Structure 1
Amino acid sequence: MHRSFTRGLTLFTLASSLIAPATSPSAADDRGRVRKDQWHLAFLHVEKAQQINDGVGVVVAVPDTGVYPHPDLKDNLLPGTDVSGSGDGRDDGNGHGTSMAGLIAAHGDGKGLGALGIAPKAKVLPIRSRLIDGEGDADELAASIEWAVTHQADVISVSAVAGASVRLQRAIRSALAANVVVVASAGNRPEDVLVGYPASEPGVIAVGGVDRHGLHAQISVTGPEIDVVAPAVDIYSTSYGGKYSKGTGTSGATAIVAGAAALIRSKYPDLPAQEVAHRLTATAIDKGPPGRDDEYGYGVIDLVAALTADVPPLGFESPSVTAPASTAARGNRDGNSTARGLATLGVLLAAGGGYLLWRRRRRAEDPPPRISR
């Protein structure tokens, strides 16, 4: 029996009272207030980033509770699927999936009105499961990942923690091998103690959270697998029924990072998924102790730098000197070479081979990436 991953629903704790629907008599006021309350937009300089790229041409799969066709999101919502029943995924009685989709690709309505996502021209591929009924398990998430890969998703945003079933591990690794960027929530305290799966899978971008001051969010799990962090506290987004919601958790941070990956994939369409991840970590704003650490990973994502910096490609190292991921995770965690440097995004399962390749990650003493002018 596989461990249930219904806890993924609580990774982004929705406020008990939802904001009025976007179609209510006070819709304009509500939409203006929601946009102002989306503090993460200014924090991440989203407006400046979107002047460079808006995510056009990229498809982001959202395996979750489905996605409601919210007025601020519907233009970017593709028909998807329900892996446990009928339907095309464009239905959500819970709100979690709709909130995640809105953080990724909400387009709002008019200047300064409505919720705005990180990549407002990206398309969302909704994949609904029985999570909403409390009956989902890891294999349902695996089926969602498999469907996303088959239907040409460029990015998969997983705001859930699951049991690492054989099928799910196979699905995640197949997605990575298919050049898909996979982003996943690290997990939330107190329910989670360690970074959960699939965030802990080598190659997946593991996302932790910060508050509006850029400090570690207490709800966010820490660990050597954390790659980057993003806003995770009091995050406003779309919800079911045309409403808006406020939530806290690493789910929201994950959706924001997935939106960032969409921007990069849109601007650099030929960039391999691993290089997309490298751009995010190499340009992240370092926090905490110098170099990578277990609270912030490589730092807070920097959208503008990720889109404009002159980031050298990852270099190859000899496979013979690379420790297996399970060994590396217990290794030295100094500022120059960390466990995650060996065990995560820089690790690829060599096609046809039985060994791991490590691509060199940015180190603490490395000069910062150059910004292209």
Structure 2
Amino acid sequence: MTRATARFRRTASSLLAITLAGVSLASGLVLAPAAQADDVRDKQYWLDESGITKAWDVSKGAGVKVAVIDSGVDAGHPDLKGAVTGGYDASGAGTANGQKTLGVKPEHGTLVATMLAGRGHQTLTPTPTPGATPSPATSPSAVGPDGIVGVAPEAEILSVSTWLGSANPAGKSDQDQIPEAVRWAVDNGAGVINISLGSTTPQWPQSWDAAFLYAEQKDVVIVAAAGNRVGGNLQVGAPATIPGVLTVAGLDRKGVASVDSSSQGISIGVAAPAENLQGGLPGGGYAEWAGTSGAAPIVAGVAALVRSKWPAMSAKQVINRIVSTARDAGPAGKDPLYGYGVLNAEGALKDSVPETAVNPLGSIADWIRVHRRGNLATPAPLPSADVASAVPTLPDPTVPAVVPPSQRDSAISAAVVIGSALLFVVIIAVAAFQLRRAAKDPRLARDDPDTGALDTADSQGQHS
């Protein structure tokens, strides 16, 4: 690899890593002054307005694991008691069980997790007597009267920590961390993955292909934030542009596409509240914030409700159910501001929705087949000596990101090309021979004065 190539790879990786954290930085975080648990529950307007409280009549997300790929989650927050059941450090920087907070905005992952699966402040009760019927307060499904209650308060959280937005002490870039995080989440039972991170470019590294393909093969729903205009995201950026991902746009308090806390693009699937949001902070605090980083876990929570209600339902059916029941907004039909419309959680859990054979938001497998094929002959660049590369920690995907054509395909293609070339040469030679004969014998041809075409004579000397 040339020095110029190495420099380009480092630059591209750095730019993507910085913009990935940009969504977090631009999420409009506003720290609430001395917020108390009993102050925030009434401010969770989206629970009623998005139909979530009515959807709880059907499901609260029990039995579903939701992976939060973010800056880490404070599992000790009072509203997350018992909710975080596993974790992993994809950054390589040494977090314990993926639950420490990391990155430029370490509180970001905790905000996301509480909105997704917060359980409120639990009421402490004595340990029940063996054999006695447990009280609601000691039941796993109990939700405290104060604090943040998530969209899926009975779901489990898998915290997958990343280090984005500043120099990673472990030397692992986003090109290494994101696919490793996705694969770990899939392998550890996540039925839904929430990615409240994004970039200002619609392209993603080819190193991400296999991981998102793996998630698609394993029937996992991936929900991603569309990005925010205030952070420079005028258009949706990766990974929210990856086919098959349920991309979430943001709404303001009036239910209209947010000017600052959203972006636009053809990959948007649905829109959800993104302003005046409430979430938990490490150490038991709370904050008001804004951005599609907060809209995404609302939708991911609804996906968990659906998967809990219908455990056998495929990921594409879950996504189709959410987008099909959304309330149309903006121009009629799907549009780049609202996607299929505004989230309707009650409809997603209660409406009758016809089955679909395909994911309405596309397939990464189909995209790879079409768009990566031209790069098959280009070997992957080797890492330079001064840039650390991720050490593989997970097995290879069951299907590679791109599959080169077989030798038989190559042989057939070569034969077709050679045969076409020989046929062309034969045609030219025959034409030249006929022209020479015509020039020597006027009886074989005459020049048509009207068209300039050469008329050939039949065996009787007649012209056609």
Residue 58 of structure 1: CA displacement? Answer: 0.2
The answer on 1:138 being equivalent to 2:172 is: no
Query: Counterpart of 2:339 in structure 1: which amino acid?
Result: G
Contact conserved, 1:6 with 1:137, CA < 8 A, in 2? no
Contact conserved, 1:6 with 1:134, CA < 8 A, in 2? no
Work out the CA distance in 1 between the residues paired with 2:30 and 2:154. 27
Work out the CA distance in 2 between the residues paired with 1:186 and 1:74. 29
Work out the CA distance in 1 between the residues paired with 2:342 and 2:32. 30
Counterpart position of 1:12 = 27
Q: What SS is found at the alignment partner of 1:236?
A: strand
The answer on 1:151 being equivalent to 2:188 is: yes
Q: Cα distance 1:205–1:11, how it changes in 2: closer, same or farther (>3 A)?
A: farther
Deviations 1:262-285 (A, max 9, x none): 000000100000100000000001
Contact conserved, 1:283 with 1:309, CA < 8 A, in 2? yes
Query: Counterpart of 2:79 in structure 1: which amino acid?
Result: D
Q: What SS is found at the alignment partner of 1:104?
A: helix
Counterpart position of 1:271 = 313
Residue 138 of structure 1: CA displacement? Answer: 3.5
Runs (5+) with no aligned partner, structure 2: 1-8, 123-143, 372-464
Work out the CA distance in 2 between the residues paired with 1:176 and 1:67. 25
The answer on 1:89 being equivalent to 2:130 is: no
Work out the CA distance in 2 between the residues paired with 1:11 and 1:275. 32
Residue 247 of structure 1: CA displacement? Answer: 0.8
Contact conserved, 2:29 with 2:288, CA < 8 A, in 1? yes
Contact conserved, 1:12 with 1:96, CA < 8 A, in 2? no
Which aligned pairs between 1:260-299 and structure 2 lie closer than 5 A? 260-299=302-341
Counterpart position of 1:322 = none
Counterpart position of 1:115 = 148
TM-score by length of 2: 0.65
Work out the CA distance in 2 between the residues paired with 1:293 and 1:101. 29
Contact conserved, 2:242 with 2:364, CA < 8 A, in 1? no
Which aligned pairs between 1:159-238 and structure 2 lie closer than 5 A? 159-162=196-199, 164-190=204-230, 191-219=232-260, 220-238=262-280
Residue 349 of structure 1: CA displacement? Answer: 2.4
TM-score by length of 1: 0.81
The answer on 1:79 being equivalent to 2:121 is: no
Which one of 42, 52, 63 corresponds to residue 46 of structure 1? 52
Residue 43 of structure 1: CA displacement? Answer: 1.2
The CA RMSD over aligned residues, in Å, is: 2.2
Residue 7 of structure 1: CA displacement? Answer: 1.6
Residue 354 of structure 1: CA displacement? Answer: 4.3
Residue 346 of structure 1: CA displacement? Answer: 3.9
Contact conserved, 2:63 with 2:155, CA < 8 A, in 1? yes
Contact conserved, 1:43 with 1:212, CA < 8 A, in 2? no
Query: Counterpart of 2:287 in structure 1: which amino acid?
Result: S
Work out the CA distance in 2 between the residues paired with 1:18 and 1:171. 41
Please list every run of at least 4 consecutive aligned residues from structure 1 whose deviation after the TM superposition is greater than 3 angstroms: 16-20, 132-136, 353-356
Contact conserved, 1:31 with 1:115, CA < 8 A, in 2? yes
Query: Counterpart of 1:209 in structure 2: which amino acid?
Result: G
Which one of 330, 347, 366 corresponds to residue 305 of structure 1? 347
Number of equivalences: 320
Work out the CA distance in 1 between the residues paired with 2:328 and 2:182. 31
Residue 16 of structure 1: CA displacement? Answer: 3.9
Contact conserved, 1:12 with 1:249, CA < 8 A, in 2? yes
Residue 134 of structure 1: CA displacement? Answer: 5.2
Identity of aligned residues (%): 36
Work out the CA distance in 1 between the residues paired with 2:163 and 2:249. 26
Runs (5+) with no aligned partner, structure 1: 21-29, 317-340, 357-373
Work out the CA distance in 2 between the residues paired with 1:166 and 1:46. 37
Contact conserved, 1:227 with 1:281, CA < 8 A, in 2? yes
Q: Cα distance 1:134–1:40, how it changes in 2: closer, same or farther (>3 A)?
A: farther
